[in-house]
Amino acid sequence: MTRQETGVLELFEQTGAYLKGHFRLSSGLHSRNYLQSALVLQHPAYAEVLGKELAAHLATLSDTGVDLVISPALGGLIIGHEVARALHKRFLFTERETGVMTLRRGFRLNPGERAAIVEDVITTGGSTREVIEVVRAAGAIPVAAGSIIDRSGGAVELGIPRVSLVTLTVEAWEPGNCPLCLAGEPVTKPGSRAA
């Protein structure tokens, strides 16, 4: 683990954001570990540091740069805003409306704009892929993706370059194969999306 990864994980542990138990993730998978980024990002100084670090990594992924940063609500809001601030770029976010990721609140993407998609935690990449599709549907160009934490161990493929401040391999199971469920341990759903 790099010094940067150790420092980020220490922030998560120090703020109580690295939880242990039995959790249902936004992806629907179950896991013993949950990263509650909101507990870290509630501290503006930590959010700023993480945003600057992620912005620096994202800047190396695109030769043409980015015109804007876009994140899925709710988990990506704070870190996406901090990355956009560090890059001096516009920030937008998507939301689910009747289960479909969409732009609302008068946000618009212009054809040809280059977008960086920013999330707090990637597990399967589902939310990030949905945002990529929103960007493409508007005629804009997704050029890079970033997250504070990659829970997939680097396995998620998005079709665009991506970076994370920390890459972890964390076990996750389909509910029917979850050893914690089989042991009768109650499950908690701490995330922002109903699953």
CATH top class, domain 3-182: alpha beta
Q: Which residues of 111-130 are buried (b: 16+ CB within 10 A; e: fewer)?
A: eebbbbbbbbbbbbbbbbbb
| Half-sphere CA count of 131, side-chain side, radius 13 A | 31
Report the DSSP pairing between strands 30-35 and 68-72: unpaired
**Residue boundaries of the structural domains of the chain:** 3-182
Residues 120-149 have pLDDT tens digits of: 999 889 999 999 999 999 999 999 999 999
Helix ranges (DSSP H) in 60-171: 77-87, 126-137
| pLDDT, position 195 | 46
Distance CA 14, CA 97 (A): 35
Residues 52-82 have pLDDT tens digits of: 999 999 988 877 789 999 999 999 999 999 9
Q: Is 123 helix (H, G, I), strand (E, B) or coil?
A: coil
Q: Is the pLDDT of residue 185 over 80?
A: yes
pLDDT > 70: what percent of the chain? Answer: 97
Average pLDDT, the chain: 93
Q: Is the pLDDT of residue 191 over 90?
A: no
